[in-house]
Amino acid sequence: MWSRSLLVQNLLVPKKAKRHDEDADRANAVVERPASSEMQIVPPLSGNFEHALVNAVLSGEVGAASRFLEHVSTTLWSIVVKLVGDGAEAEAAFLHIVASLKADDYARLRGFDGRSRITTYLSLVARDVLADELAGQFSKTPREAWERFSRYFGADLRSRIARQLPSKLGRAGREDAYQEVCLKLIENDFRRIRSYGGRGSFTGYILTVVDRILIDLVRRETPRRRMPAAISRSPPLDQAIYTAVVWEGCPLDADRLAAALRGRLAQDPTAADIAESVARLAGIVRLERASPATEAVSLDALLGEGGSISIADSSPTPEDRLLLFEEEERRAALVAAINAAAEKLPSDERLYLQIVFSANEPLPARGIARLMGCPVEDVYRLKQRSQKWLKEITVQLEKNSDMSV
């Protein structure tokens, strides 16, 4: 049943090495080993032994290749199963890795210096070998390649997301980020993946691409202070005064405001201009400094005379109230627009939106694919089209809102 060993034995033993009877017996012992699920793990041996064994293989010592195989075959097979899965595909990948080890007089083994275990070293070699093969598959059968890609890089992607994105995102936020990364990798017929030019390892290339995508996500999700819509539609002077007073804490004094605004606008405002602007703003919002989201406060400042802790009022500021009111108005208008426009969408996009919006918590792409009965890459494309469609509706609503002012 362990036919892989016979094939691998033929691959590993150099043609120049003459096999004596003892070597043949050892090789046959390897061939007669049971299948992977029944194989016994080779007891751990010292790094010195492994280094010496690899050196023996590199020098073409008689019987060294079969001893090397006996030492690493179980570990190598478990690595393949983890990366590829079991079955015929795994056997092909196993033999491909062994052939790659033998190529160019075992060039891939020359980097092993004995400081780490051979199992660790072979894990890295196997990843690179299979990743390079996967890169070539994207130019032939991209859909099948994507299934392998998801299994191969899924853990790496999730690990990087957990490490680089804010922890406050939670499980649902990290799952959204994972789908967003997959969406970026799939879009334009896997353009980012297929742009790999063969320089360096494919694994390193993919992880670099993912890091850049995550950097963009972090920049996009980083909170930015938003000016209320009523203020953003006001003249530049009104916006500048609002920023100076509410965000920067400048006093409502014409001279102080004039000094704070000097150089910010195309023309420095006069005291009369500032007074008129302040009067206009007073009809829209209360002009007072907004409390910062986070501010360092000493413990002594929190303790009152009796030693009790005095907690600041956490109720919304006037700016917060205005923003919340505008947000509720926009949300209601957006829901109404989506309901009206969804009737014109294709059936698969309507079904996707129905599943997404009716779920109690964000569903993974594979879960949505099961519910829709379609490949997971189709779900990523549906998400991309839906996001574009929702963005168009949002932009149109903002235009209509500006025209109504």
**Pairs from 286-293 (Cβ < 8 Å, separation ≥ 24):** 286/318, 287/241, 287/242, 287/245, 287/246, 287/252, 288/245, 288/246, 288/317, 288/318, 289/245, 289/246, 289/247, 289/248, 289/249, 290/246, 290/247, 290/317, 290/319, 290/320, 291/317
User: 166 or 209: whose pLDDT is higher?
Assistant: 209
Q: What is the pLDDT of residues 235-248, one digit of tens each?
A: 999 999 888 888 87
Of the pLDDT bands very low, low, confident and very high (cuts 50, 70, 90), residue 387 is confident
- Give mean pLDDT, residues 374-398: 83
CA distance 331 to 347: 25
Q: Among 47-51, 59-63, 125-129, 257-261, where is mean pLDDT lowest?
A: 47-51
Mean pLDDT of 36-64: 68
Could you report the per-residue pLDDT of 293-349, keeping only the tens digit for each? 444 444 454 444 554 444 444 455 665 666 666 666 666 777 777 777 877 888 888
* Nearest CA among 77, 63, 96, 55 for reference residue 1: 77
Q: Show the tokens assigned to 189.
A: 């017929």
**Please, which pLDDT band fits residue 193 given cuts at 50, 70 and 90?**
very high
Is 206 a residue whose pLDDT tops 70? yes
Residue 45: per-residue pLDDT: 47
What's the whole-number mean pLDDT along residues 153-182? 85
From residue 378, give the alpha-carbon distance in Å to each of 195, 371, 383, 386.
21, 12, 9, 12
State the Cα–Cα distance between residues 197 and 140, nearest whole angstrom: 15
| pLDDT band, residue 216 (cuts 50/70/90) | confident
In this prediction, residues 168-173 reach a mean pLDDT of: 79
Do residues 152 and 134 touch, judged by C-beta distance below 8 A? yes
Would the pTM count as exceeding 0.75? no
| Predicted local distance difference test score (pLDDT) of residue 41 | 40
Dihedral sign (CA 289, 295, 301, 307): positive
pLDDT at site 94: 86
Domains along the sequence of the chain with CATH: 3-137 (no CATH), 142-221 (1.10.1740)
